[in-house]
Amino acid sequence: MRIKTTALLAAATLAAACSDAPSGVSSDEAAVQQAYLDVDAGYFDENPGGDDLFPSAALTASPTLFSAPGDPYVAPERWGRRRAQEQPSRERVVVIEGDTAKVFVAVRFRGRLMVDTTFDGVANPGAKRMHETLRHRAVFVKDETAPRGWRLVAMSIGDVVDADPARRTVEITALTVAVNGAQVGEVTSPTQLLRVTGEVPRLHVGDSVVVTATVRNTTGTNLVPPTQLFLHLRHHRADQERWGRFPMRDNGDGTWTLGWTVRHRGIARMAVDAIDAEALQTQSGDDYRANIWAFPYHVID
């Protein structure tokens, strides 16, 4: 058995340079790196949910910006993330064992959570620190018919966590996807691999998709409910392909659910976004706690 490993660290502006084999990297490693970059970007979207500042689906004006444990959650006027404000760093590690190559990816962001609770009709949000790492992995096998000699056969979900392990108090623990009433995908660990053929859903325009997530929150702020969940989607409209955000339904048992109808062809991830409720109650403070699981799919027609 032969094992080869390489790590590439680069800022976003240098991503294109990864197509050139760096010094000391074998031809196989360089080919795997390029095969990874050739995969449709929707499968490995590094910014699930995008950078738009969306209004809340339902507004309930609050007389104060401060909440105490046991108080009901109040939706802000609008909120969103700004991951693109600072260039992320990327690390890709390739491990080759025989005819199989595993790619381990980490993308580190220093962004801002933007929250507007003023209810004045003006988009003037405050900003909170948001240091996150997106992690995913992919598996390729040697294939002489593939353009780079390596073919993608499996991938994990995208898992977005706080860069500081001590702040990972909001945790998605399970995710299921059902299509037209039949379960087609289940994830219980962010490192779990999904086979491209058979486990990454192949959807059709008009399909009815239901996403259910199980969440644990140990932050201790104890608003009611303590966690807010949203589903980020790209193919929910026929006239465009861009991120939209929709609140999920609290089932009262630690699970949240939302259904959607496929309206557009393409490859993307449906991203379940779990946020501690307190982070959306004020415009300032160091209280951002969240976890995102982004599940891949392919709408073929």
pLDDT at 165 > cutoff 70 = yes
Residue boundaries of the structural domains of the chain: 3-299
Distance CA 37, CA 15 (A): 9
pLDDT computed for residue 236 by the predictor: 94
- Among 142, 138, 255, which Cα is nearest to 192's? 138
pLDDT computed for residue 74 by the predictor: 87
Mean pLDDT of 141-164: 97
- Among 48, 301, 298, which Cα is nearest to 198's? 298
Residue type, 77: E
Q: CB under 8 Å to 16, separation ≥6 — which residues?
A: none
Q: With b meaning 16 or more CB within 10 Å and e meaning fewer, what string describes 102-133?
A: bbbbbbbbebbbbbbbbeeeeeebbebebebb
Q: Which residues does residue 137 pair with via DSSP β-bridges, in sequence order?
A: 104
pLDDT computed for residue 59 by the predictor: 52
Q: Is 29 within 8 Å of 18 (Cβ atoms)?
A: no
Residue type, 198: G
Mean pLDDT of 146-162: 97
Helices (H) and strands (E) in the chain, counts: 1, 19
Tens of pLDDT, residues 16-67? 333 334 445 689 999 999 999 999 999 999 999 999 899 987 555 554 456 7
Distance CA 32, CA 158 (A): 19
Tens of pLDDT, residues 186-230? 999 999 999 999 999 999 999 999 999 999 999 999 899 999 999
Distance CA 30, CA 154 (A): 19
Task: Say if strands 202-203 and 194-195 run parallel, antiparallel, or are unpaired.
Answer: unpaired
Other CB atoms within 10 Å distance of the CB of residue 146: 15
- Among 159, 259, 254, which Cα is nearest to 213's? 254
pLDDT computed for residue 66 by the predictor: 63
Kindly report the backbone phi and psi dihedral angles of residue 33, in degrees, each rounded to the nearest multiple of 5, phi listed first.
-55, -45
Q: Which residues does residue 229 pair with via DSSP β-bridges, in sequence order?
A: 274
Cis bond leading into 225, ω under 30°? yes
Distance CA 205, CA 183 (A): 18
Tens of pLDDT, residues 102-126? 999 999 999 999 999 988 888 899 9
pLDDT computed for residue 10 by the predictor: 38
Assigned CATH topology for domain 3-299: Immunoglobulin-like (2.60.40)
Tens of pLDDT, residues 81-105? 999 777 899 999 999 999 999 999 9
Distance CA 293, CA 191 (A): 11
